[in-house]
Amino acid sequence: MKILVTGGAGFIGANYIHYVLSNHSDCEVVNLDLLTYAGNLSSLKQWEGDSRYQFVHGDILDAKLVDTLMGQVDAVVHFAAESHVDRSITDPLSFVRTNVLGTGVLLDAARKHKRRFHHVSTDEVFGSLAPSDPAFDESTAYDPRSPYSASKAGSDHLVRAYYHTYGLPITISNCSNNYGPYHFPEKLIPLAITRLMEGKTVPVYGAGDQVRDWLYVVDHARAIHLILTTGTIGETYCVGGENEHQNIDVVRKLIALLGHDESAIHYVADRPGHDTRYAINPTKIQTQLGFKPSVTFDQGLAQTVQWYKDNEDWWRGIISGDYTKYYDQQYGKHE
């Protein structure tokens, strides 16, 4: 199988490419990525020159390029997206362009060439849960709260529309929060790790009592490929780690792993419209496809911290640029 992976130089996309090429010798990958701020080709350096891997620098909004590539592959796994909620609050239209219009361009090309299409989405489209609410599942109504989640909800609906209207062979997955290697250091876990390693404080929104369900990214990559190859056409699968933790407790775990104390925590004003809790009920993918996470949260956190220790060149090259300016503006220079 030859797979077009969009956004393959990003966090989850890169881990998916590593998983596929390392575990499925019958697969080839074409990686289409615009290399915006969160795209990093060094994450895939080991595959340079491999005959099963091809990188194409381009935009999913480029209909001509997308059409050409779609004619060369068997399937699409669509990761490419603007994904950071904070950035969506300051620049919402860029999220609409990439996440909705870009998905539309891909779908139209897939329809023309009759290609299998898997769309990677998020649990944030479902909104926010109260502490006693049941976890999200495939029947949960959409209730997005940020420009980011609204744009992803729009793309999910568009994918389903192409299935119902044109018979395009699609599947969708909605995942919980991912963590692991190659994660751009703007999200909670890699932000905390890199700032602690630099001797800086870790910004925590509000009281840090927001709850997230954490999924190790390599487990997520395995789940995506399982859905692509064995999932039922037209179906959605919720992929979660069954690891609910408050953000402040995640930060405390990282502080302990890196040998710091709680003076490293810097509480900042809460994000506008910040969702209280996300949680995934993964019963469907477990019972129908046999998927279960293989990495516990404590194991995954320890492995992730070790990866950032072993790969300082990867993340220090990132934080020396616009990233640092952005976060100093967001949180102030809390050294």
**Catalytic residue list contains 123:** yes
What residues form DSSP beta bridges with 136?
Answer: 280
Nearest Cα to 111, choosing from 61, 168, 65? Answer: 168
Question: What are the strands of the beta sheet with 75-78, ordered from one edge?
Answer: 53-57, 28-33, 2-6, 75-78, 116-122, 170-175, 236-239
Which residues 6+ apart lie within 8 Å of 306 measured at CB? none
Residue 118, classed as helix, strand or coil, is strand
Which residues 6+ apart lie within 8 Å of 249 measured at CB? 208
Catalytic choice (19, 53, 148, 327): 148
Catalytic choice (33, 59, 124, 219): 124
**Catalytic residue list contains 249:** no
The two most distant CA atoms of the chain are separated, in Å, by 57
The alpha carbon of 333 is separated from its chain's Cα centroid by a whole number of angstroms, namely: 27
The alpha carbon of 209 is separated from its chain's Cα centroid by a whole number of angstroms, namely: 22
Catalytic choice (33, 123, 213, 219): 123
* Residues with catalytic roles: 123-124, 148
